[in-house]
Amino acid sequence: GAVVSQHPSRVICKSGTSVKIECRSLDFQATTMFWYRQFPKQSLMLMATSNEGSKATYEQGVEKDKFLINHASLTLSTLTVTSAHPEDSSFYICSARLGADEKLFFGSGTQLSVL
């Protein structure tokens, strides 16, 4: 299947700092990418839909100024957690669709720990 690369896999930061997570589609172009968040022993919660060349669409309850999404090219979307706090500690996962194929291909996830 298609490969989605996510970096970094793990990050530890101090409270108040910003963290950027990258999501790349390695062998295909993705006009749409999705960002999910997952707490321990819970399901994936969709945060936002990232559209290449336009603003991201955020789910209800997700602060767009807190979680900045940039989809500058057809192979790269970034999620920046601004002024991170301990409650932002979570597993963040990106995903992308291959053309008209409906199934999502997922990155390996980023474990964010805010001290």
Partner 1 sequence: GESVGLHLPTLSVQEGDNSIINCAYSNSASDYFIWYKQESGKGPQFIIDIRSNMDKRQGQRVTVLLNKTVKHLSLQIAATQPGDSAVYFCADSLWTDKLIFGTGTRLQVFP
Binding residues for partner 1 (CB under 8 A) = 1, 4, 6, 34, 36, 41-46, 49, 91, 93, 95, 97, 100, 102-109, 111
Return the number of the residue (15 or 55) whose C-beta is nearest partner 1: 55
- C-alpha count within 13 angstroms, C-beta hemisphere, residue 104: 15
Return the number of the residue (51 or 82) whose C-beta is nearest partner 1: 51
Return the number of the residue (7 or 83) whose C-beta is nearest partner 1: 7
User: Residue 9 Cβ, how far from partner 1 at the closest point, in Å?
Assistant: 8
Two structure tokens written together for 108: 């390996």
**Contact of 28 with 98, CB cutoff 8 Å:** yes
- Name the 3-class secondary structure at 28: coil
